[in-house]
Amino acid sequence: MVLALLVVACGGTGSTATTVGGPTTAPSITTNAGGATTAATTTTTAAPVTTAAGATTTTTTAGPTTTASSDPAVIAEGEELFQRTAGGIGCAYCHTAAATGNPDLGSPDIRGKGYDAIVNQLVNNQNMSFIVLDNGQIEAIAAYLATLAP
């Protein structure tokens, strides 16, 4: 829910009214030409701002990309995040360093799941909601995991 705040400042020769709202997030599913689906999150980082002069601006940031990066630096970043730092705790803590999963914790083997499946899990999995990642981190982790064989 977006809460709006109306601020009116009067003084001297005129007044200015500005409407400001907080960020909103909405999940979305993207289907590419090959029929594959990818979960993404679209976040409006700044609600529309309207001034008395009538100017309106909105800033929107799209969710993760739909294809895995082959850039070695991105893959290395993904490995680092997976092993040690994703959301303050490495993914390896539950999924093991080899990404083979840990049945005792209920964490699955995530090798060979594919880029789209990993992005979907990182965006939509409520079991991992305590892990907060930005789009670049999600892309890097998914790119790294896409390189692992099942």
Q: Is 114 exposed, middle or buried (0-12, 13-18, 19+ CB in 10 A)?
A: middle
Residue 63 neighbours by CB distance under 10 Å: 21
Give the list of residues 6+ apart from residue 72 with CB closer than 8 angstroms, or none.
none
Taking alpha carbons only, the member of 49, 41, 44, 54 closest to residue 134 is 41
Query: What local confidence, expressed as pLDDT, does residue 66 receive?
Result: 61
Token couple for 89: 């705790």
Q: Tens digit of pLDDT for each residue in 100-122? A: 999 999 999 999 899 999 999 99
What stretch of H or E contains 48?
A: strand 37-50
5-61 pLDDT tens trace: 222 233 334 433 333 444 434 333 343 444 444 454 444 344 444 445 555 544 444
- Take residue 125 and report the two structure tokens written for it: 């999995």
Q: Which domains does the chain have, with CATH numbers?
A: 4-61 (no CATH), 72-146 (1.10.760.10)
